[in-house]
């Protein structure tokens, strides 16, 4: 939010209103939470494809010979060994091993990178990036100035292909490229990334071109079942796919280790912020951790609800929703290790009454491999 407290609008705001979207404040922006309804939008993404405006996300352009080596000292994953054309998930950590933010690095060429951060953390992350800058590293904050459109779903390749000159089917998951996109004068960054558990692409483009691209892709694929999708559907899709949401499964206090992101933490890096704390946490192995939870009944669990095992309080729900893909109420809970094993019977306290639930492996939903 800016100093006046007024909400910012993305370049696509009028397009959302014309489509009948319900708008809500999110990360300082006025964003579409849904168009026709979360269930219908969710269904489109799982079976066909959905189109998302994610222009509220923070985009930082990084440039310089030292970006990779520098970023490695602030994050848990490797950066310097990324090749041009690669995207990689990563987490900026604090001294205690907690997370400043989870992000994606896109390496465009030897010198140029794109760093995408969460909207709610964009101001904080700009401080983190600029205050720690060292060596040959330039950073430009594009937050709110560039647009981001995502298409997500099993039919993304065929639906987007007519509008771009890159051969989409040949791009690997987590590949990025600079490509020509319908009606946009300059090449834009195109990546096979997303936050739904489906195949899909994200297009980082100038705000001035966003509406033309959005309208063209939507109009060209309406008959094929492409639906505009809001942040409501996006949150349900990511939860089903077992993907963490900053502020829920990960915070300045909840470490990536607790969030189950061990695969992203490279302890073989000699030094990075929070490495010692994370190493000590791993050694002790007594930390509360994120577990997947399915409710036995029809009552949804919600963030903040207390979790019990064997009559004792063992943690709390961090995210909870109805999960249409599994036709059950799904949740993540931060629980003591003794309550985290698959199959553990839990009780979730909902409005004073305890409801049966059980621990299941994450993700709740995994797409069939093409």
Partner 1 sequence: MANGVPAELLYSKEHEWVKLDGDVATVGVTDYAQSSLGDIVYVELPRVGAQLAQFVSIGVVESVKAVSDIYTPVGGEVVGINNGLDGDPSAVNRDPYGDGWFYKVKLSDVGQTTELLSPEQYAALIVEA
Interactions with partner 1, residue window 30-49 (CB under 8 A): 34, 37-39
Measured distance CA(184)–CA(181) in Å, rounded:
6
For residues 203, 22, 229, 357, the Cα torsion angle rounded to the nearest 10 degrees is 120
> How many residues sit close enough to partner 1 to count as binding (CB under 8 A)?
17
Q: In this chain, which stretch among 189-197, 213-221, 321-329, 330-338 interacts with partner 1, using CB under 8 A?
A: 321-329
Nearer to partner 1, 168 or 301 (CB): 301
Task: Please name which of 303, 314, 309, 294 lies closest in space to residue 350, comparing C-alpha atoms.
Answer: 303
Contact between 331 and partner 1 per CB under 8 A:
no
Q: Collapse the DSSP code of 267 into the 3-class scheme (helix H, G, I; strand E, B; otherwise coil) and give the result.
A: coil
Q: In this chain, which stretch among 130-138, 183-191, 280-288, 299-307 interacts with partner 1, using CB under 8 A?
A: 299-307
Q: In what order do the strands lie in the sheet containing 226-228? A: 176-179, 188-191, 200-206, 146-152, 49-53, 226-228
User: In this chain, which of 299, 306, 326, 360 binds partner 1, going by CB under 8 A?
Assistant: 299
Measured distance CA(145)–CA(150) in Å, rounded:
17
Cβ 179 vs Cβ 187: under 8 Å? yes
Measured distance CA(313)–CA(294) in Å, rounded:
18
User: In this chain, which of 59, 196, 329, 332 binds partner 1, going by CB under 8 A?
Assistant: 329
Contact between 351 and partner 1 per CB under 8 A:
yes
Nearer to partner 1, 146 or 248 (CB): 248
Interactions with partner 1, residue window 83-102 (CB under 8 A): none
Q: Collapse the DSSP code of 23 into the 3-class scheme (helix H, G, I; strand E, B; otherwise coil) and give the result.
A: strand
User: In this chain, which of 235, 240, 249, 347 binds partner 1, going by CB under 8 A?
Assistant: 235
Site string (193-232) toward partner 1, x via CB under 8 A: ---------------------------------------x
CB-based contacts of 200, cutoff 8 Å, min separation 6: 49, 150, 151, 152, 153, 156, 192, 193, 194
Interactions with partner 1, residue window 2-31 (CB under 8 A): 22
Q: In this chain, which stretch among 56-64, 79-87, 218-226, 298-306 interacts with partner 1, using CB under 8 A?
A: 298-306
- From residue 169, alpha-carbon distances to 156, 158, 222 in Å are 10, 9, 21
Contact between 298 and partner 1 per CB under 8 A:
yes
Interactions with partner 1, residue window 132-191 (CB under 8 A): none
* Site for partner 1, rule CB under 8 A: 22, 34, 37-39, 232, 235-236, 298-300, 302, 321-322, 324, 329, 351
């Amino acid at each position: 939010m800016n100093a006046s407290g007024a909400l910012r609008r993305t370049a696509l705001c009028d397009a959302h209103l014309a489509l009948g979207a319900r708008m809500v404040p999110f990360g300082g922006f006025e964003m579409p939470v849904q168009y026709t309804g979360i269930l219908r939008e969710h269904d489109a993404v799982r079976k066909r494809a959905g189109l998302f405006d994610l222009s509220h996300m923070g985009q930082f352009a990084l440039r310089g010979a030292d970006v990779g080596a520098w970023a490695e000292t602030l994050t848990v994953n490797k950066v310097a060994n990324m090749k041009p054309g690669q995207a990689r998930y990563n987490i900026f950590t604090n001294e205690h091993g907690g997370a400043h933010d989870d992000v994606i690095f896109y390496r465009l060429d030897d010198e140029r990178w794109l760093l995408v951060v969460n909207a709610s953390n964009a101001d904080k992350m700009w401080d983190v990036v600029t205050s720690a800058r060292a060596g040959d590293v330039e950073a430009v904050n594009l937050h709110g100035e560039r647009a981001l459109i995502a298409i997500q779903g099993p039919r993304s390749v065929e639906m987007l292909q007519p509008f771009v000159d890159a051969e989409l089917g040949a791009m690997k998951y987590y590949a990025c490229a600079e490509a020509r996109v319908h009606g946009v004068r300059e090449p834009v960054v195109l990546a096979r990334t997303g936050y739904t558990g489906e195949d899909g692409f994200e297009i980082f483009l100038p705000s001035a071109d966003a509406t033309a691209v959005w309208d063209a892709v939507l109009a060209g694929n309406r008959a094929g079942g492409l639906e505009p999708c809001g942040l409501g559907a996006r949150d349900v899709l990511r939860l089903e796919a077992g993907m963490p949401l900053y502020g829920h499964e990960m915070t300045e206090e909840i470490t990536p280790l607790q969030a189950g992101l061990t695969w992203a933490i490279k302890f073989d890096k000699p030094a990075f912020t929070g490495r010692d704390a994370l190493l000590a946490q791993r050694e002790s192995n007594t930390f509360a951790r994120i577990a997947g939870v399915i409710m036995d009944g029809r009552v949804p669990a919600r963030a903040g609800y207390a979790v019990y095992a064997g009559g004792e309080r063992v943690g709390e729900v961090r995210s909870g929703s109805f999960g249409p893909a599994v036709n059950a109420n799904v949740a993540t809970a931060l629980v003591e290790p003794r309550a985290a094993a698959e199959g553990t019977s839990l009780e979730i306290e909902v409005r004073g009454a305890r409801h049966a639930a059980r621990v299941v492996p994450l993700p709740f939903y995994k797409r069939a491999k093409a």
